[in-house]
Structure 1
Amino acid sequence: MADIHAETDLYFVRREIAQAEPPPVRTSGPGNWVRRNLFATPGDAVLTILALLFVAYTLPGIIDWAFLSAVWTGEDRTACIVEGAGACWAFVKAKFPQFIYGRYPVAERWRVDLVFLLLAIGIVPMAIPSVPYKKLNLVYLMVVVPVVSFFLLTGGAFGLRSVETSLWGGLLVTLVVSYVGIVMSLPLGILLALGRRSDLPAVRFFAIGFIEIWRGVPLITVLFMASVMLPLFLPVGMNFDKLLRALIGVALFSSAYVAEVIRGGLQAIPKGQYEAARALGLGYWPMMRLIILPQALKLVIPGIVNSFISLFKDTSLVYIIGLFDLLGIVRINFSDANWATPQTPATGLVFAALVFWVFCFGMSRYSQALEQRLDTGHKR
Structure 2
Amino acid sequence: MEKQFQAHIARDEKRPMPPPGEQGLLAALRKNLFATWFDSLLTVVLGLGSVWVAWKLIQWGLVTAVFTGEDRQACLTTDGGPVGACWAFVNAKIGQFIYGRYPLAERWRVDLTLLLLATLALPLAIPRAPFKRLNASLLIGVFPFVALVLLTGGNFDMNVGWIVLLFIAAAFASATLAAGTAGALSGRLKGAYRLALAALVLLLASIILPGSDIRLPIFELPLLSLAALLAALASIGLSVVAARGGLKRSFMPFRVFMPSVFAVALVALLTSDFHLMPVSTNLWGGLMLTLVVALTGIAASLPLGILLALGRRSHMPAVRLLCVIFIEFWRGVPLITVLFMSTFMIPLFLPVGITFNQLLRALIGVALFSAAYMAEVMRGGLQAIPKGQYEGAMAVGLSYWQMMRLVIMPQAIKLVIPGIVNTFIGLFKDTSLVYIIGLADLLGTVRRGFSDPNWITPTTAATGLLFAAFVYWLFCFGMSRYSIFMERRLDTGHRR
Deviations 1:282-335 (A, max 9, x none): 111111111111111001000000000000000001101111000000000100
The aligned residue for residue 9 of structure 1 is none
> Among 351, 373, 391, which residue is 1:235 paired with?
351
> Among 119, 135, 151, which residue is 2:149 paired with?
151
Amino acid of the structure 2 residue aligned with 1:184 = A
> Does the 8 Å CA contact 2:101/2:283 hold for their aligned counterparts?
yes
How far apart in 2 are the matches of 1:274 and 1:25? 53
How far apart in 1 are the matches of 2:395 and 2:300? 34
The aligned residue for residue 13 of structure 2 is none
CA RMSD of aligned residues (A): 1.9
How far apart in 1 are the matches of 2:276 and 2:464? 33
Post-superposition shift, 1:134?
Answer: 2.2
Post-superposition shift, 1:133?
Answer: 2.4
How far apart in 2 are the matches of 1:153 and 1:194? 35
Q: Relative to 1, partners in 2 of residues 1:234 and 1:278: Cα closer, same or farther, differing over 3 Å? A: closer
> Among 131, 134, 153, which residue is 1:133 paired with?
131
Is 1:247 matched with 2:241?
Answer: no
How far apart in 2 are the matches of 1:33 and 1:136? 50
How far apart in 2 are the matches of 1:302 and 1:46? 37
Post-superposition shift, 1:40?
Answer: 8.3
Post-superposition shift, 1:147?
Answer: 1.1
How far apart in 1 are the matches of 2:42 and 2:53? 17
Post-superposition shift, 1:233?
Answer: 3.5
Q: Bigger shift: 239-248 or 165-174?
A: 239-248
Kindly report which structure 2 residues correspond to 1:1-380, keeping only aligned pairs within 5 A, or say none. 24-25=20-21, 31=26, 34=29, 38-39=32-33, 42=36, 48-82=43-77, 83=80, 84-157=82-155, 158-380=274-496
Which secondary structure state, in structure 2, belongs to the residue aligned with residue 118 of structure 1?
A: helix
- Which runs of 5 or more structure 1 residues have no equivalent in the other structure? 1-20
How far apart in 2 are the matches of 1:133 and 1:26? 52
How far apart in 1 are the matches of 2:22 and 2:133? 45
Count of residues paired in the alignment: 358
How far apart in 1 are the matches of 2:311 and 2:144? 27
Deviations 1:141-180 (A, max 9, x none): 2222211100000004311111000000000000000001
Amino acid of the structure 2 residue aligned with 1:149 = A
Post-superposition shift, 1:104?
Answer: 0.2
TM-score (norm 2): 0.69
How far apart in 2 are the matches of 1:31 and 1:130? 40
> Does the 8 Å CA contact 2:89/2:460 hold for their aligned counterparts?
yes
Post-superposition shift, 1:23?
Answer: 6.4
How far apart in 1 are the matches of 2:149 and 2:138? 15
The aligned residue for residue 4 of structure 2 is none
> Does the 8 Å CA contact 2:148/2:154 hold for their aligned counterparts?
no
Q: Bigger shift: 355-364 or 238-247?
A: 238-247
TM-score (norm 1): 0.90
Post-superposition shift, 1:34?
Answer: 4.9
Identical amino acids, percent of aligned pairs: 64
How far apart in 1 are the matches of 2:413 and 2:39? 36
Which secondary structure state, in structure 2, belongs to the residue aligned with residue 248 of structure 1?
A: helix
Deviations 1:352-374 (A, max 9, x none): 00000000000000000000000
Which secondary structure state, in structure 2, belongs to the residue aligned with residue 324 of structure 1?
A: coil
How far apart in 1 are the matches of 2:464 and 2:303? 36
Post-superposition shift, 1:54?
Answer: 2.1
- Which runs of 5 or more structure 2 residues have no equivalent in the other structure? 1-16, 156-273
